[in-house]
Amino acid sequence: MTKRTCILVLALAATALMAVSPLHAAGKGKHSFVPDIPDTWMQVYPEDVDPDFEYNGLRPSCAACPGCDDRFSFFVRGGKTNNLVVYFQGGGACWDTMNCLYVHTYYEEVPPLSLFADTSGKGIFDTSNPDNPFRDWYFVYIPYCTGDLHWGANDVAYPDYLDRIPGFDSWTIRHRGFVNFQLVLKWMTERFRMPFKIFVTGSSAGGYGATLGFPYIKEAYPDSQVYLLGDAANGVAGEQFLNASIYNWNIQLPTWLPGTESGYTPDMTLADVYLAIARYYRDSKLGQFTTAYDNNQAFFYNVMLNITNPYAWNNIMPVWCDWHDTMYDLVHEVASGAPNYRYYIAAGDYHTILMSPRFFTEDSAGVSFAKWLKMMVNNPLNKHGGPPGGKWQNVECEDCLMPAGLSCP
């Protein structure tokens, strides 16, 4: 065979390969790796997935607080590549009569579809910005309306001890965040065969949902490269919450991971969960973002410490430094024990970045956050199983812009 003939044969073979490859198919359908989903946002209801769906004996639902719409649904958008973003919405939490029934500190209902009418400037959802590494990816958006960090599979009757709900001695809150996630996962696995990359993430409460959802998604797609990023979800919590209140949710830990076989225990920290995940899924990258003085995370830490006194909740000054120091301890603990984990600590006290214009401008840790995240999802792990290659490293602010009036030791 002459050199010219050899080149011609190779060219024809490459053309044939492109013709049968699902990524080069003219359209999307049952013979493609990617599902036929419109590139505009659409809303999906439980009956569209499985009218009889249950998990742990519970059906998908929002919290069903007094006067609240209890109907759950989720949102999806088509893309141009065989990659998928799974985003868990944030929105507070509740674990006591005081903040589940009286002074709500959580989102109670699914947001409207109009949330996605204009996504310009909304971080990873901004498909018009060329600096967005996810602009061509498929999206699944999991709303949060259950007060349980997307972790729960339990209904709890909270006593109405102030007699504020006429005709009732108690009111049942449906902590079914994990039930809702399982419905979404069923929808995903019935449509996505094997995405090349899956970016599992969420902001605030959604960051915790992403953390616990990650192992289940990875198990569903063992051959995909699956990433985890928690946005402003660092797990600083009060003792009363960790020892008692958290049990209201019936947390669905991935018990196949070493260290979580017995489910949740009061001595378990979020660092322990990250380490268990990172060590079990060594071929996946895990990361966390936070500002050094996140005011919202400090607020919820203060709520945990003063759950019976809502008048004290907004005064976070007494706990701010403790939150700051504990946050640093937790991220440093994970970083020292997991070579496939990285953190980004930005200056200031703002809360969350993934749906913010700051996604494209934040660089207070010495590197652009958008670039840092792009390096996370584009650069592979070291092929020999060592630390991730490239420039994706732990970064933190030097001048962290301590809030005015705050003085930490």
79-132 pLDDT tens trace: 999 999 999 999 999 999 999 999 999 999 999 999 999 999 999 999 999 999
Q: What pLDDT does residue 335 have?
A: 97
Q: What pLDDT does residue 385 have?
A: 47
Query: Looking at the predicted structure, is the pLDDT value of residue 143 above 60?
Result: yes
- DSSP class of residue 356? S
Query: Looking at the predicted structure, is the pLDDT value of residue 25 above 90?
Result: no
Query: Looking at the predicted structure, is the pLDDT value of residue 220 above 90?
Result: yes
Domain 43-396 bears CATH identifier 3.40.50: yes
User: For residue 20, what pLDDT band results from cuts at 50, 70 and 90?
Assistant: very low
User: For residue 381, what pLDDT band results from cuts at 50, 70 and 90?
Assistant: low
User: For residue 388, what pLDDT band results from cuts at 50, 70 and 90?
Assistant: low
Query: Looking at the predicted structure, is the pLDDT value of residue 221 above 90?
Result: yes
Task: Write the DSSP assignment of 173-214 as a string of letters.
Answer: EEE-HHHHHHHHHHHHHTT-S--SEEEEEEETHHHHHHHHHH
User: For residue 391, what pLDDT band results from cuts at 50, 70 and 90?
Assistant: confident
- Section 39-46 average pLDDT: 97
Q: Which long-range contacts (CB under 8 A, 24 or more apart) does 187-193 make?
A: 187/44, 187/48, 187/49, 187/74, 187/140, 188/84, 188/86, 188/140, 188/217, 188/220, 189/220, 190/49, 191/35, 191/37, 192/33, 192/34, 192/35, 192/84, 192/138, 192/221, 193/33
Mean pLDDT of the chain: 92
Dihedral in degrees, nearest 10, Cα atoms 273, 153, 294, 340? 30
What H or E segment, with its residue span, contains residue 87? Answer: strand 83-88
Query: Looking at the predicted structure, is the pLDDT value of residue 26 above 90?
Result: no
Whether 91 and 53 have beta carbons less than 8 Å apart is answered as no
Question: What's the token pair of residue 266?
Answer: 């009061």
- Section 41-66 average pLDDT: 98
Cα–Cα distances (Å) from 184 to 117, 176, 252, 275, 320, in that order, read: 22, 13, 16, 26, 36
| Residue showing tokens 């998928």 | 84
30-44, 157-171, 247-261, 268-282: least confidently modelled range: 30-44
Q: What pLDDT does residue 34 have?
A: 83
